[in-house]
């Protein structure tokens, strides 16, 4: 299947590793060009170098800071002359319980996880025309809470509703807005969570795998292929979708 990505340009936040880098890899392999954004300059520069200087540029930016989104959109237009969409992925907030999470931790999480993502989507949408596409990277916590991740459980469902609302608002312009709900994908983030489970990380992985119908964790490239499809013109009649990429772990419809 031709995804129709040849010559298109996408902003990929959280693009230096994990789900963001996997998606960028698929986009580039399908003929797109990418602007990668991440907080660590060395890692995002290296990620862009791996993809190739003709098709990727890496920028050290923090989505939690005002003005970042506009700079990223401007950089895409300056480097490649256009912008066709964005994959908006932000790092997961620190683990913790609802009872123990402080007001300051909630505020910090809101600025980085929620408001930073909304700003980026808004700035991207302002520069898109018919055929543009925005995808939020959320979590299965949009539909069911994950033990020990109170801040994520609190903020991700709200972002899901923002995505649905933006799909309604931008649809008449031909701009699509969707979200992906990754489950246990074998990234550094999931390895960190397995290490914090209070048991051997491999035991934690085995226990979680047993609860997944496919009986294994997903690979980042499996997520990347789903994300690239949802961003692409091949998904031209999909908007407002919350797509789980979780091996069947979510039990709700």
Length of the chain: 253
52-69 confidence digits (pLDDT tens): 999 999 999 998 889 999
Tell whether the model's pLDDT for residue 196 goes beyond 80. no
Return the H-helix or E-strand segment holding 44: helix 41-51
Residue from 175, 151, 145, 30 nearest 98 by CA: 151
Predicted local confidence at residue 202, as pLDDT: 86
Domain with CATH 3.40.50.720 in the chain: 9-183+220-238
Tell whether the model's pLDDT for residue 8 goes beyond 90. yes
Q: What's the CA dihedral at 139, 143, 149, 153 to 10 degrees?
A: 100
Residue from 102, 101, 135, 100 nearest 120 by CA: 135
Tell whether the model's pLDDT for residue 195 goes beyond 90. no
116-128 confidence digits (pLDDT tens): 999 999 999 999 9
Question: pTM, whole model, 2 decimals?
Answer: 0.95
Which residue would you say has higher pLDDT here, 200 or 82? 82
Superfamily grouping for domain 9-183+220-238: NAD(P)-binding Rossmann-like Domain (3.40.50.720)
Tell me how far apart the alpha carbons of residues 56 and 43 are, in angstroms, rounded to a whole number: 13
121-158 confidence digits (pLDDT tens): 999 999 999 999 999 999 999 999 998 899 999 999 99
Residue range 36-48: mean pLDDT, rounded: 96
Tell whether the model's pLDDT for residue 204 goes beyond 80. yes
């Amino acid at each position: 299947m031709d995804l129709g990505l040849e010559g298109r340009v996408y902003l990929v936040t959280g693009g230096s590793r994990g789900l963001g880098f996997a998606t960028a890899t698929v986009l580039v392999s399908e003929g797109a060009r990418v602007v990668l954004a991440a907080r660590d300059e060395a890692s995002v520069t290296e990620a862009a170098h791996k993809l190739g200087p003709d098709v990727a540029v890496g920028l050290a930016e923090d989505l939690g800071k005002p003005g970042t989104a506009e700079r990223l959109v401007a950089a895409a237009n300056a480097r490649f002359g256009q912008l066709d969409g964005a994959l908006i992925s932000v790092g997961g907030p620190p683990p913790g319980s609802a009872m123990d999470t402080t007001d300051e931790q909630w505020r910090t999480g809101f600025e980085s996880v929620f408001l930073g993502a909304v700003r980026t989507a808004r700035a991207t949408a302002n520069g898109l025309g018919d055929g543009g596409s925005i995808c939020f990277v959320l979590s299965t916590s949009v539909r069911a809470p994950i033990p020990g991740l109170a801040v994520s459980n609190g903020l991700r469902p709200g972002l899901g509703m923002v995505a649905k609302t933006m799909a309604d608002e931008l649809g008449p312009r031909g701009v699509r807005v969707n979200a992906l709900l990754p489950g246990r994908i074998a990234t550094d983030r999931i390895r960190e969570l397995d290490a914090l489970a209070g048991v051997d990380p491999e035991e934690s992985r085995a226990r979680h795998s047993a609860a997944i119908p496919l009986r294994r964790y997903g690979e980042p490239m499996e997520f990347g292929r789903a994300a690239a499809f949802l961003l692409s013109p091949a998904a031209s009649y999909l908007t407002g979708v919350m797509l789980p990429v979780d091996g069947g772990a979510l039990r709700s419809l």
